[in-house]
Structure 1
């Protein structure tokens, strides 16, 4: 059985959702970053951590990729052009969406007050809106990001868009609003987010 360490209000939600989509049993240890429940598995104190047979795996994207490859679901096979496209979308979302949101969070409440730059958030919002315009040109016409099949970048993007709403980063593209509504209505997402 898998063990997921981290609260559902963190990137651990991505892992919980993936496991729900896969129908895999898991134990959820809902602890905050840098707590005693995390540091034995990740000395950096960051969550999520997935423990597999006593071995910790860190970083949500690495965990999602591992689970998708291990279970042969929510991914295209390694070495295919579809997988290259999938990985490219994953990197775009991490670079343009996740990074902007994480930097805004750092300058809102994570960094010591004297290190925070409040004005940077305006630039990050502007970049976030511009990135939405780029992404919609790479999305499939309907369905998931890549078409008929849900893949790893769908989980990451949905998490980022939800995070954006909570951080007051506007979702300006109607297609992304519709996409987010469909993804957050998935039964596996609802089960994971209820944790």
Structure 2
């Protein structure tokens, strides 16, 4: 059984969602970012950490990629053009969407108060909105970013959509992006993950 170490309402949600989609059993050990427990596994203090037997894995995108590759689901095979396009969506999300959200979070609560720059959050909201426009242009006609195939790229993007709501960033209320995020939230694995998050919060 896999073990996720980290507070559920963090990037740990991505790993939980992947494991729900895979149908793999897991347990969650809540631990706060920068806590002594996390620092024993990850010098950056970031969550989540995944334990797979004796192996320790850090950084949520790497963990999700590992799980998808290991189980042969939620991803295209490495070395294929489809995988390169899938990875492009993942990297785009980390750069354009998560980058804006994380910078806003660091200047709201994550960084020490004396180094926060609250004014930067306006620029973060602008960057996030611009990223959404790019995502809409790239989305195409399929239900997911890779057409008919649901992948970990959708999970990373979907998590950022929920993060945006919590951060009070605007998401489209109609149109193709609104429909896309709605499809992600309607997936049974997403709903199972959210039920566990709420139960542990």
Q: TM-score, normalising length from structure 1?
A: 0.96
Say whether the 8 Å CA contact 1:6–1:31 is kept in structure 2.
yes
Instruction: Tell me by how many angstroms 1:117 deviates.
Output: 1.0
2: CA distance, partners of 1:43 / 1:118: 27
Deviation, structure 1 residue 192: 1.0
- Structure 2: how far apart are the matches of 1:43 and 1:117? 25
Q: Which residue of the partner structure matches residue 76 of structure 1?
A: 76
Task: Note the alpha carbon deviations across 1:3-35, whole angstroms, 9 max, x for none.
Answer: 111122000000001000000111111221122
User: For residues 91-110 of structure 1, what are the alpha-carbon distances to aligned partners after superposition, in whole Å with 9 as ceiling and x for unaligned?
Assistant: 00000000100000000011
Contiguous gaps of at least 5 residues in structure 2: 197-201
1:8 and 1:193 in contact (8 A); partners too = no
TM-score by length of 2: 0.93
Matches of 1:137 and 1:99, distance apart in 2:
19
The aligned counterpart of 1:110 is 110
Q: What SS does structure 2 have at the residue aligned with 1:77?
A: coil
1:66 aligned partner: 66
Give 1 or 2: higher helix fraction.
2
- Post-superposition CA distance 1:30-81 (Å, at most 9, x none): 2211224322222322101111111110000000100010000000010100
Structure 2: how far apart are the matches of 1:10 and 1:163?
9
Over aligned residues, Cα RMSD in angstroms? 1.2
Q: Which residue does the alignment assign to 1:128?
A: 128
Question: Which stretch shifts more, 57-66 or 36-45?
Answer: 36-45
* Counterpart check, 1:193 vs 2:198: no
- Alignment coverage as a number of residue pairs: 195
